[in-house]
Amino acid sequence: AQSVTQLDSHVSVSEGTPVLLRCNYSSSYSPSLFWYVQHPNKGLQLLLKYTSAATLVKGINGFEAEFKKSETSFHLTKPSAHMSDAAEYFCVVTPWGGKLIFGQGTELSVKP
Amino acid sequence: KAGVTQTPRYLIKTRGQQVTLSCSPISGHRSVSWYQQTPGQGLQFLFEYFSETQRNKGNFPGRFSGRQFSNSRSEMNVSTLELGDSALYLCASSLSEDRANGELFFGEGSRLTVL
């Protein structure tokens, strides 16, 4: 069975400091992994995806994530937080042809 | 290019009523999926349609149903509403049949309140 765990329900950073949102997954085979972002009262938007190509994936708005099979992790990072990054972030795993499995979400707050 | 459009955006119903939510995917997208989002349960998959056929279904009771039309527009219906059905219902469309590679494009959701 596949599952995904976001290790922090809430992360707070200061503007200009690095962001780290942690995600661990469980899968019986190599999964596809995604990070989505949801701003208040909006739908979700894809930040980046890993589909067994390069292990370091670059996404939009300066975000990137590294797939580490040995640690079953897919953590999301950004070198310098911006106020507009404040939102909820979802780590998602999916088998081929299957339904998406969402993590519980991490709410990111950015302080001025 | 227009995004995914969900209607209505907000609605209030009472227990026992039924509700129909509509989703118009991005033009050319044939896959539509539905999700329920609540503070307690997070995002949960409801069902997915491709070319008018239901391909996957989540673990929801039979009160939740959906369909897709030949123009790819989709509707979901919830009958005999319960208080716990209060949620944000999100629709997403994708171009690819392959869930592992396809990006999902989400609408802004329909927020249902059941009193």
Tens-place pLDDT, residues A58-104:
999 999 999 998 899 999 999 999 999 999 999 998 865 567 789 99
Q: What integer best gives the mean pLDDT of chain B?
A: 92
Which of A31, A44, A98 lies at the smallest CB-CB distance from B56? Answer: A98
Q: Does A3 touch chain B (CB under 8 A)?
A: no
Q: Which residue of B has its CA nearest to A43?
A: B108
Following DSSP, what letter does each residue of A59-109 receive, concatenated? -GGG-EEEEETTTTEEEEEESS--GGG-EEEEEEEE-TTS--EE---EEEE
Max mean pLDDT among A4-18, A51-65, B33-47 falls in A4-18
Rounded Cα–Cα distance for residues A48 and A14 (Å): 23
Which of B42, B55, B100 lies at the smallest CB-CB distance from A51? Answer: B100
Smallest CA–CA distance, residue A91 to chain B, in Å, is 11
Q: Do B106 and A104 touch (CB under 8 A)?
A: no
